[in-house]
Amino acid sequence: MRDMPGGRIPEHVGDIDLVYVVLYRLRALTDEEKRDWAAQWNDIKLHLPSGLKIVIEGFGAFGTEYTGFTVYEGPMEKFRELVECLEERAAPYVEKTQTIVGTKGFNLPLAGVWEILDSRPID
């Protein structure tokens, strides 16, 4: 989760609901670790920060180097809370992540969209 570009998104955007696509690659797990991870993940889902929701849980992430992805929706502040939890609880199971942050439709004022785009590194 360390690739989270929190510093690139202006703070005033934090109260707007954003969409977060978190791609992850699980390391090779033993059967016992698979059970432990499933229990951890179920507990994490039950205790999401208030105002943050899971929109999609995707398994496979075919066409990528990742083994799955989760799409969340909510304010940046709440997603940051979740990232702290995931960094602590998922670290033993996840070897790599990539986070994509975007808006849901065109719900930001045009100036807000340009501010985000201007702060992005060159792709």
Instruction: Print burial letters for 90-118: b (CB count within 10 Å at least 16), e (below 16).
Output: beebbeebbbebeeeeeebeeebeeebee
- 66-115 per-position pLDDT tens digit: 999 999 999 989 999 999 999 999 999 999 999 999 887 665 555 555 56
Give residue limits of the domains in the chain: 6-113
CATH architecture of 6-113: 2-Layer Sandwich (3.30)
Residue 51's identity, in one-letter code, is G
Angle at 29 between CA 25 and CA 31, to 5 degrees: 140
Write the pLDDT tens digit of every residue in 40-62: 999 999 999 999 999 999 988 99
Give this prediction's pTM.
0.74
- Which position has the token pair 């785009």? 117
